[in-house]
Amino acid sequence: MKATLAPPSSLISLPRHKVSSLRSPSLLLQSQRRSSALMTTTASRGSVAVTAATTSSAEAPREGIAEFYNETSGLWEEIWGDHMHHGFYDPDSSVQLSDSGHREAQIRMIEESLRFAGVTEEEKKIKIVVDVGCGIGGSSRYIASKFGAECIGITLSPVQAKRANDLATAQSLSHKVSFQVADALDQPFEDGIFDLVWSMESGEHMPDKAKFVKELVRVTAPGGRIIIVTWCHRNLSQGEESLQPWEQNLLDRICKTFYLPAWCSTTDYVELLQSLSLQDIKYADWSENVAPFWPAVIRTALTWKGLVSLLRSGMKSIKGALTMPLMIEGYKKGVIKFGIITCQKPL
């Protein structure tokens, strides 16, 4: 079934009528354009971590990421729906599997992120959005409906892009949203186009955080806003050069299954944004608010339906399920932090 979902080409390009309906027709692919050289940050701790992120994985495991999501997205959608991200809960809340609380918590994650970034007050300004690492397009469709905006999603997974476009058509949103396979580190868009640059839980996959941030900034319109919601490791203390070996070991085990390169901290992101003179930089640790999420995912995997679907879905899904307890351990021990970082590009 998965194979039939995969489109023949590695790139699903935007239908022409959608491109021309966008504010800037120059959104057309520029496959020859390359991002410029790696950025460095002057802050000492930031530069340690960012350098680690840039050198530990010279080549992004793009094929691995694409295959992972090609294989696992159907299962996720079957059980959890079209949002492939954590839910946002009140701290210490208990949500039953049977109720709609988790779906609501995932929508709330989008709403809280927009609110934190102050986007709700700017609704009229949000005309065109890029959803970087879009999954099957849950955020794009939600944001497009909320703001009446145009939204373009990019993912490495052809299966996800196809499914996201199909869902947009089924929901009569295909005039507003579209999805394609493209690399977040080399986006097929011209400079300064998007009013909102949205990255919901994709940053953790980026092997070069500096290049990632620089690319987000490049495509943002002057006065536009960037929202990055991502898995981070804890901030290093004064004088600490790296995580403790046991902490690194825990993250390494998670990296293998979820196709993640080296992690960085929220502070590293903030320092990268500061080094690019972004404005109104805000960040928060939402680890407490996402705490109920992984236990709930594990409980769904252990239901009869979950187990059967898991077995049908394949080894990547099974390995993913077996890695989930490590995420809980990481949060409990304070190694993993769920961070939101937002800023505005100067006019």
Residue ranges that bind ligand SAH, judged by CB under 6 A: 60, 65, 69, 83-85, 133-135, 138-139, 154-157, 160, 183-185, 200-202, 205-206
CA dihedral (107, 108, 114, 119) positive or negative? positive
CB neighbourhood size of 78 (10 A): 13
Largest distance between two CA atoms of the chain: 55
342 forms beta bridges with 227, 282
Q: Is 322 exposed, middle or buried (0-12, 13-18, 19+ CB in 10 A)?
A: exposed
228 forms beta bridges with 199, 341
Nearer of residues 30 and 249 to ligand SAH, judged by Cβ: 30
What's the min distance (Å) between Cβ of 102 and ligand SAH? 13
Nearer of residues 136 and 221 to ligand SAH, judged by Cβ: 136
What's the min distance (Å) between Cβ of 140 and ligand SAH? 9
Nearer of residues 201 and 271 to ligand SAH, judged by Cβ: 201
Nearer of residues 95 and 156 to ligand SAH, judged by Cβ: 156
What's the min distance (Å) between Cβ of 346 and ligand SAH? 26
What's the min distance (Å) between Cβ of 201 and ligand SAH? 4
Whether the CB-CB separation of 281 and 274 falls below 8 Å is answered with: yes
What's the min distance (Å) between Cβ of 290 and ligand SAH? 13
Nearer of residues 76 and 147 to ligand SAH, judged by Cβ: 76
Burial 246-285 (b: 16+ CB within 10 A, else e): ebbebbeebbebbbbbbbbbbbbbbbbbebbebeebebbe
